[in-house]
Amino acid sequence: MGTAKLTFADVALTVNVPQGTRIIEISEKVGSGITYGCREGECGTCITRIVEGMENLSEPSALEIRVLKDNLAGRNDRLACQCQVLKGTVKVRPG
């Protein structure tokens, strides 16, 4: 399995992760300020700003699209508990 680079801007740390890793699997371990509520894609607490590499993330599910919309999220926002890093480099910070 290939790797991708996931950078957490608020703690200045890049982690080399297996392709398919969800942001939620890493962010708390590195001390990023991204926080979680339900962890199941429903509450919108973990809205995260994608600074770079939006195209390298998995497509949002219908649920994620609805929750982002309900929470008035911006076009560069995703749910950290849902999206997976598929390839290349992705840089994020708390939303």
Rounded to the nearest angstrom, the gap between the alpha carbon of residue 80 and the centroid of all alpha carbons in its chain is: 3
Q: What is the CA radius of gyration of the chain?
A: 12
Which residues 76-95 are close enough to bind another protein by CB under 8 A? 94
Kindly state the smallest distance separating residue 30's Cβ from another protein, in Å. Answer: 7
CA–CA dist 78, 86 (Å, integer): 14
Which listed range, 20-28, 55-63, 74-82, lies at the site for another protein (CB under 8 A)? 20-28
- Chosen residue from 22, 23, 24, 32 binding another protein by CB under 8 A: 32
48 and 34 Cβ atoms separated by less than 8 Å? yes
Of 7 and 58, which has the nearer Cβ to another protein? 7
What is the residue type of 91?
K
Task: Using CB under 8 A, list all residues that contact another protein.
Answer: 5, 10-18, 21, 26, 28-33, 35, 42, 44, 69-72, 94
